[in-house]
Structure 1
């Protein structure tokens, strides 16, 4: 009887474990498909129509990509799903690059830029060629912590500049991922970006609202 009870308990535990794995796999596949569909849907939006919608597109993309990446964390066999995320990420970065190419490029080195990147010269094309797999985590950490520290002092123009640099840094990250960025650093960057995205959005929108209010007065 004791052996029978032990066998039943063991079988129940095994079924629960399999069920848990199946649930994680299903959820991961669902998040990856949602990310793929979102990126593919952007092809139906003309680049000329993006100016007023770009903020929401950036935020939605970031949220969906991070959700897909996080869903894969506990999976043993995740290479195929990781490959799908990478393909969609490449599609998005190309789409984004085409959009940014139509935007005015910064021509001068501002105080904000110096604080975010120190003595490093990011170049007027903001290609960030000096950012690599060994220093990109530090660059993201310094960038976001500097913005957090000084967020109360930034003007609307500063926030627009910060957003432009952040987008360019994200574009560089896509290249660095293909150059051997470690999974550990990639997840740490994803965590940093997950926390930073709402801060950037809220403060930039708040600065814009304040500017409009002052203009009315």
Structure 2
């Protein structure tokens, strides 16, 4: 009898420890998501002129908070993840609205660097590239020369996290563009492999690719269904 009591006591302690761990992960995710929401909401309090003048820093701060929130999401139970993901998606949508406003304002002014006197054109595809790789990292030429053996795993990982965080809002064109960008990154990996990419990093990249491959196909099919449904309404 005494042994059974001791076993039950030990089991209870382990169970309590597991519950405590889950609660801490939920608290951390809630905290990071709240920080993301507060940051995006605070941008609405900043004047259009200040946002435009400090956009590079704003974008960098946002990307850091968004990545932090998405990282915390991965440790949540499935029952909590869906609701938390919706909050992150809502903040992403708000941020995109602000970003479009800033870019639209920039388009009305002469390009500072081009020297042509013509407005700088920013397409929806550029917005997608910024979301997947970070503001200003990839242009229309899809040049991945900045990716090397030291940062390539992080680039793949960040792409995967950004893709998962935003895929529910993608159109079929967005999915096609996202897949094209991934293929361009893959082509860069072939070069980086010859420059000393480690076997361990290669395996990490392979794991990410295995998870992404079916997502490209099925997520695009889902987007087509949504668009067809919207068209009927």
> What is the TM-score normalised by the length of structure 2?
0.51
1:179 matched to 2:170? The reply is yes
> What residue is the counterpart of 1:47 in the other structure?
48
Deviation of residue 2 (structure 1)? 2.3
Structure 2 contact 103–122 (Cα < 8 Å) conserved: no
Structure 1 contact 93–174 (Cα < 8 Å) conserved: no
Cα distance per residue 1:157-197 (max 9 Å; x no partner): xxxxxxxxxxxxxxx99875413899xx9xxx9xx9xxxxx
Within a 5 Å distance, the mapping from 1:155-170 to structure 2 comes to none
> What residue is the counterpart of 2:147 in the other structure?
148
> What is the TM-score normalised by the length of structure 1?
0.54
Distance change in 2, residues 1:174/1:90 (3 Å): farther
Distance change in 2, residues 1:174/1:19 (3 Å): closer
Distance change in 2, residues 1:70/1:176 (3 Å): closer
1:79 matched to 2:82? The reply is yes
Distance change in 2, residues 1:74/1:104 (3 Å): same
Deviation of residue 5 (structure 1)? 1.9
SS in structure 1 of the partner of residue 90 of structure 2 = helix
Distance in 2 separating the partners of 1:175 and 1:32: 15
Distance in 2 separating the partners of 1:127 and 1:50: 20
Distance in 1 separating the partners of 2:83 and 2:166: 20
Within a 5 Å distance, the mapping from 1:1-217 to structure 2 comes to 1-76=2-77, 77-104=80-107, 124-128=121-125, 143=142, 145-148=144-147, 176-179=167-170
User: What count of residue pairs does the alignment treat as equivalent?
Assistant: 142
Structure 1 contact 90–174 (Cα < 8 Å) conserved: no
Which runs of 5 or more structure 2 residues have no equivalent in the other structure? 115-120, 149-162, 186-233
Distance in 1 separating the partners of 2:107 and 2:71: 34
Distance in 2 separating the partners of 1:72 and 1:173: 11
Alpha-carbon RMSD: 3.9
Higher relative contact order (CA 8 A, sep 6+): 1
Which runs of 5 or more structure 1 residues have no equivalent in the other structure? 111-123, 150-171, 193-217
